[in-house]
Amino acid sequence: MILEVEWEDTCTEAQVERVVPGYNKTVVSGLQIFLRDKFVVWASNGSNVEEIWNNLKKNMVHESIERFVPHKTPRKNSDIVYYNKEINLLAPELFF
């Protein structure tokens, strides 16, 4: 019995570039000042509690994350798909 396999182009999956927020490096003092200044303005724009809450979620939180939380793009892993940390731990002397 012979098994025939047809391979497509490169057999790799395209990775989607993503941005990761670094919440542990947030500029806390700037965020506090921003929230204090903006809350009064945004709270006065709503007529009821639900509108104020939606305004807070949609506007204040997103804008403050964009302004005061640094973001970074993780680098792509250049290792072969089957080469990972577990394999490296099994026999480190073979790879170095």
**What is the pTM for the complete model shown?**
0.52
Residue 43, token pair as written in the block: 């709270």
Give the residue from 33, 18, 20 showing the smallest Cα distance to 64.
Answer: 33
**Domain segments of the chain as ranges:** 20-95
pLDDT at 90 over 80: no
5, burial (CB in 10 Å: exposed 0-12, middle 13-18, buried 19+): exposed
Q: Over the chain, what is the mean pLDDT?
A: 76
* pLDDT tens per residue across span 7-56: 666 555 565 678 888 989 999 999 999 888 887 777 676 678 888 787 77
pLDDT score recorded for residue 76: 74
Residue 31, Cβ density class (10 Å: 0-12 exposed, 13-18 middle, ≥19 buried): middle
Query: Taking a C-beta distance cutoff of 8 angstroms, is the pair 46, 58 a contact?
Result: no
pLDDT digit string (tens) for 28-38?
999 999 888 88
Q: How confident is the model at residue 94 (pLDDT cuts 50, 70, 90)?
A: low
Cα–Cα distances (Å) from 81 to 11, 12, 87, in that order, read 10, 9, 11
Q: Tell me the pLDDT tens digit for each residue of 59-87.
A: 788 888 899 999 988 877 666 666 677 77
Question: Looking at the DSSP assignment, which residues form a beta bridge with residue 20?
Answer: 72
